[in-house]
Amino acid sequence: MVQKIELGLDSFGDVTADPDGQLLPQAQVIRNVVEEAALAEEVGVYVIGLGEHHRPDFAISCPEVVLAAIASRTKRIALASSATVLSSDDPIRVFERFSTLNAASSGRAEVILGRGSFTESFPLFGYSLSDYEALFDEKLNLFAAILKNDAVTWQGHTRLPLTNQRIFPPIENGTLKTWIGVGGSPQSVIRAAHYDLPLMLAIIGGDPNRFRPYVDLYHRAFAQSRPVREIGVHSHSYVAEIDDTAREELWPLQKDARSHRRRARLVADDTRRIRFRDRTRFALCRLAADCRAAYRNDGKIAWCLPLPHEIQRRHAVTRKDHALYRALWTEGHPHGAGDGGVKRFSPAEPQRHSGGI
């Protein structure tokens, strides 16, 4: 058995700044995200993930619409949400939107379903936070029924029942790739295994090693019953030529957001969370050096800071001999140079790759 590592980028459409330090209009931020995704495909990134938020500091409230715009500009890169807040949405509409995106992009759509680390969507769409758990449980149950591509018969408490109802458009080939996003709840890990869905761990702060027990729990949930599904990791990332450059570029932006923290503490925190490479860096998140079954690493770009646009994308150029492209190849990106760029691991060998969070 061999496994590959897919490298991706995530964005919430963070409202960034122009060279004069003025915040960009949200409309321009969305256009910038489309350009960045097109560039990500050119340099060999496997997947672009866009998150859903409904607040002034993030521009993307409808990831699938922006992903459709990206689909029209690209041919290969996978198109994912990161994540879709299923609790405050309708499972049928979510499936219809992503199945439509999947058709328009020739099978490149993926959806990551989550409960949301931000909760502004609940009052916005008329849901009570007191139903936070129940809404996700029931809506995920319905979504899982829809994924079977059969006529759906379902009954619950959050909506009227369905009887032999077809959902359109159906997925053309196979099923819609669906992940369960988990931010630190063991119950969510068990839920993902119960529905036989891949697990996406959202590491948004702290020591990534604390997520290792969730990996073990996920594996135990599959033990002796069926093959374990993929595990992905999402966390903050930053691209720079060398360690010192990365820290110096990030520090002015971080100190504004975290003025209560001394620089020494901040650098210590970030070097624990972000592991820059010894050569050109593609800073990615991971659980730990010996974490098994890390299938995808998605780096969250922009840090939710007013990050200047030219810094955010400056190092990602399109030349195939550029060091970033070579870093992707070395890390195991399937579309890198030479031998398909796939880095392989034996079943007995822990998956390792240098660089990460």
What's 111's domain CATH number?
A: 3.20.20.30
Per-residue model confidence (pLDDT) at position 83: 93
- Whether 98 is in a domain gets the answer yes
- Whether 69 is in a domain gets the answer yes
- Whether 348 is in a domain gets the answer no
- Whether 355 is in a domain gets the answer no
- Whether 354 is in a domain gets the answer no
- Whether 312 is in a domain gets the answer yes
Q: Which domain holds residue 163?
A: 6-341
The answer to whether 42 touches 2, Cβ cutoff 8 Å, is no
Per-residue model confidence (pLDDT) at position 16: 85
Per-residue model confidence (pLDDT) at position 338: 31
- Whether 124 is in a domain gets the answer yes
pTM exceeding 0.85: no
The answer to whether 113 touches 179, Cβ cutoff 8 Å, is yes
The answer to whether 10 touches 351, Cβ cutoff 8 Å, is no
The answer to whether 138 touches 157, Cβ cutoff 8 Å, is yes
Three-state helix/strand/coil letters over the chain: CCCCCEEEEEECCECCECCCCCECCHHHHHHHHHHHHHHHHHCCCCEEEECCCCECCECCCCHHHHHHHHHHHCCCCEEEECCEEHHHCCHHHHHHHHHHHHHHCCCCEEEEEECCCCCCHHHHCCCCHHHHHHHHHHHHHHHHHHCCCCCEEECCCCCCCEEEECCCCCCCCCCCEEEEEECCCHHHHHHHHHCCCCEEEEECCCCHHHHHHHHHHHHHHHCCCCCCCCEEEEEECCCCCCHHHHHHHHHHHHHHHCCCCCHHHHHHHHHHHCECCCCCCCCCCCCCCCCCCEEEEEEECCCCCCCEHHHHHCCCCCCCCCHHHHHHHHHCCCCCCCHHHCCCCCCCCCCCCCCEC
What total number of domains does the chain contain? 1
Bond into 83 cis (ω within 30): yes
Beta carbons within 8 Å of 247's beta carbon, 6+ residues apart: 267, 270
Estimate to the nearest angstrom the gap between the alpha carbon of 268 and the chain centroid: 25
In tens, the pLDDT along 304-314 reads: 333 333 333 33
- Whether 54 is in a domain gets the answer yes
Which contacts of 239-243 are long-range, i.e. CB under 8 A and separated by 24 or more positions?
Answer: 239/281, 239/282, 239/283, 239/301, 239/315, 239/316, 239/324, 240/276, 240/281, 240/283, 240/315, 241/280, 241/281, 241/315, 241/323, 242/276, 242/281, 243/276, 243/281
Per-residue buried b or exposed e for 237-247, using 16+ beta carbons within 10 Å of the residue's own CB = bbbbeebeebb
Structure tokens at 5: 């590592």
pLDDT in tens, the chain (357 residues): 455 678 888 999 999 888 888 899 999 999 999 999 999 899 888 999 999 999 999 999 999 999 999 999 999 999 999 999 999 999 999 999 999 999 999 999 999 999 877 899 999 999 999 999 999 999 999 999 999 988 999 999 999 999 999 999 999 999 999 999 998 889 999 999 999 999 998 887 777 778 889 989 999 999 878 899 999 888 777 666 776 776 777 666 665 544 444 444 444 444 444 433 333 333 333 333 334 445 666 666 643 333 333 333 333 333 333 343 333 333 333 333 333 222 222 223 323 222 222
